[in-house]
Structure 1
C-alpha cells in the first residue's frame, strides 16, 4: 500500500458504460477524460475515458502491458498525460501533485516501513498530510479497526503475515479519508486462501465506504468478478469494453472480452440467419446473435464451459465428439472433447459417478440462450 505521500491506442473504443449516477460522477468521484500517455514515443494509454462514481468499485482488467497500471498512476499523479484531463471530486487535478489529490493508494508490495510499528506506519500518511497531531491517534485506531488490525498496533511488519501486512497497507490508505482509493493488484502476492479472505474484507470495506470511489487494477478475473460493480476491459492501451460483471460474462461484446472475462469456448461458425442460427462444419446451432451480423458472415459462437452438459443424440445444439481428456477438480469433472466438426470443446460438469474415459464417444449440448454469436476476430478490431 501507499497512502499517497507516504512511502514509497487509437481509434476510439466503444464508449464506456455510464456510472450508476453519471451526473454525480462528474461532480465527484474519479473521471478520466480522453487521457493519453506515451513513454519515449510509445503510446501506453490511448484516449482513455472512464468515470468511477462515489461508492463504486471499477476493476481495470486486462493482460500485462494493456495500460491498467498506467491509468492508475495517472490518477495518482505519478504519471503526466500527454493529453486529456483527470478529475477527482469535481476538481481538475491533472496538474496537481499526488499529495494534493485526496487519494489513497495500495500496491502489491505493501511498502510498509520495517522499522516502524503498525500504528506508526498508519500514522505516516496522516503526518505527511499535516493532520493535526491531536487527531492522529483516533484516525489510526479507526483505520486499524476497519481493517481488523486493531489488536496489532504495536507490532512490527516482520511480525505479521502477508495478509496482515496488506491490511495495514489498506489501513494507511484509509486513514487519510481519501475521496478515491487506488488498488494496484493488492492481492497478487498472497496465496489462494489469504486472497479469498482479503477479497471478502475488501467487499466489506466497500460497503462501509459509500462515498469512496475505488479503482482496482487486476489481471485476476475472479477478483474482478467478485469485487467490482463494473469491469473495464483493457487491451493494447485501449479501453475495449466496460459493463457490469454479469453482463460482460453473459453477453460479452467481442471475442477478446469473452475469452478474458471468464473462460469460454469460442467455436468458429457461419451465420445462417439473423436469429442466431449458425453452422459449425455443417452442424446447425443456435445462440443469441450480436448486432450487425448478416447471413454468410463468419462468426464465433461463445459458450461458457459450465453451461455445456452431456446430452442425448438428437438434442438441440448437440455436438458429438471424442473425449480427449478428463480432469477431476474436486467439485466436478472437466471434459475436453474433440468434436467431430473440428474444434475442441471444454465442459465443466458436476461430479460424475461414472465419468467417460479418454477415447470414449460422447454428445454434448447447451441451451441457445446460454450461447452468444459474436463477430469473428478481426472484423470489429476487438482481436486484431
Structure 2
C-alpha cells in the first residue's frame, strides 16, 4: 500500500447560489488522521464528499496524493468510505457485503476470499462472516462497514460521523478500535468528520475546526485545547470560560479585578477575551482570585460543575472530591493560575 494524502486547493462548493464550502485550503499528510470538527452546516461533510467525488466543487481542486481527482468519478479515486448509517445490504451476508467493493473494482476472483478474510480479521468480525446484518448489533454492523472499506486496501479512508448512531458505551469501544486500526495501517490517510469533540481529541493527529462554510482553525488537539486562537475554537474544542477583559501591561481587568495573565502579544488598552478552562479553576483563595455567588451546582459523577456568578458573568469550575458542596447563593472565591489564562481574538495579534 503506497502512501498518499489529501489536499484541498481553495475548494468551494455551492448549491443554488448558497455557498456551503468556502475556499478551503487544507492538507492531510500521508498517514495522518485529520478530524473535521464543527456544528451542523459548517461545511465539514461537504468537504468529505468533495474528496469522495459525490459533489463537484464550484471552484478549486482536490488532490489525492499528486493526482488531481476533481473531475474523476468516485470509483476511480481509490478511497474507502464509512458513513453514519452503515449502508450495508440487508440481503447479503457479512462476507458478501465486505466483498462488494472488491467485486465493483473487478478484483481477481481468486483474491477476493483472502482479502475479505483479512478485513474481517482486522476488524474482529471473522466469526460473523456468514451472518446477515439484521443478526448483528449496531457496533458490529459498523465494524462490517469499516471492513468493507478496508478490503479494497485504500490509500485514503473517509469516515463520516461513523459513531454517531451508537450509544455511549459502544462509541467508546469503537474509538479504541479505530485507534488500533490506525496503528496497524500507518500508511492510510484518514479524514474523519464529526461534531463530537471527544472523538476528535481522541483520534486525530490534527483537527480542522469548521464553521459557517469556512476553516476557522487547524492544529494538534493539544494546541487547540491549550492555546486556542479564537473564541469559536475555545468553545467548540472543550468547554471554556470566555471573559471580556481590558488589556494592561502584564495584567487584564475583569469585573474591576486585575488578573495576571500572559499579555506579550496583546495591545495595552485593547479589549480582548480571556479563555480559562473550567478544570483549571479552583475553589478558595489563590492567584487571580474572583469573588462571586453560586448560581448552580451540577454533580457529574467524578466532578462537580459549579456555576459562579461574578459581576453578572457566569464562571464554570469543574472540581473533584469536594468535601462540602456549596449551596445556591453561597458566596465563594475561585481562582486560576496566571499561565492558565489565554487571551483571544480582539486586541491580540495573529502574526
Q: TM-score, normalised by structure 1?
A: 0.88
Offset, 1:346:
0.5
Quote how far apart the aligned CAs of 1:89 are.
2.3
Shift of 1:287: 2.2
The residue number in structure 2 matching 1:14 is: none
Query: For the Cα contact (< 8 Å) 1:268–1:300, is it kept in 2?
Result: yes
313, 316, 326: which one aligns with 1:343: 313
2:292 to 308, 317, 321: 321
Which residue number in structure 1 is paired with residue 337 of structure 2? 367
Deviation of the 1:193 alpha carbon: 0.2
The residue number in structure 1 matching 2:163 is 187
Query: Counterparts of 1:375 and 1:88 in 2: how far apart (Å)?
Result: 34
How far off its partner does 1:29 sit? 1.0
Q: CA deviation at 1:219?
A: 0.2
Query: Which of residues 138, 156, 167 is equivalent to 2:143?
Result: 167
Aligned with 1:249: secondary structure? helix
Residues 290 and 372, structure 1, Cα contact 8 Å, conserved in 2? no
Unmatched tracts of structure 2, length 5 or more = none
2:247–2:263 CA contact under 8 A, matched in 1: no
Deviation at 1:281, TM superposition (A): 2.2
Tell me the distance in 2 between the aligned counterparts of 1:94 and 1:345. 47
> Structure 1, unaligned stretches of length 5 or more?
1-24
**Number of residue pairs aligned between Structure 1 and Structure 2:** 349
In 2, Cα distance between equivalents of 1:331 and 1:213? 36
1:287 maps onto 2:261 in alignment: yes
SS in 1 for 2:8: strand
1:37 matched residue in structure 2: 13
Moved over 4 A (4+): none
Instruction: Report what 1:301 is aligned to.
Output: 274
Matched with 1:332 is: 303
**What's the CA shift string for 1:336-376, capped at 9, x where partnerless?**
1111x330100000021211111111100001111101124
Q: Provide the C-alpha distance between the structure 1 equivalents of 2:188 and 2:331, rounded to a whole number of angstroms.
A: 54
Q: Which one of 101, 105, 109 corresponds to residue 133 of structure 1?
A: 109
Residue by residue, what CA displacement relative to the aligned partner does 1:58-111 show, whole Å, maximum 9, x if unpaired? 000011111000000000001000111111121111111100001000000100
C-alpha separation between the residues in 2 aligned to 1:48 and 1:94? Answer: 14
The CA deviation at 1:144 is 0.5
SS of corresponding position for 1:151: helix
Residue of structure 2 equivalent to 1:15? none
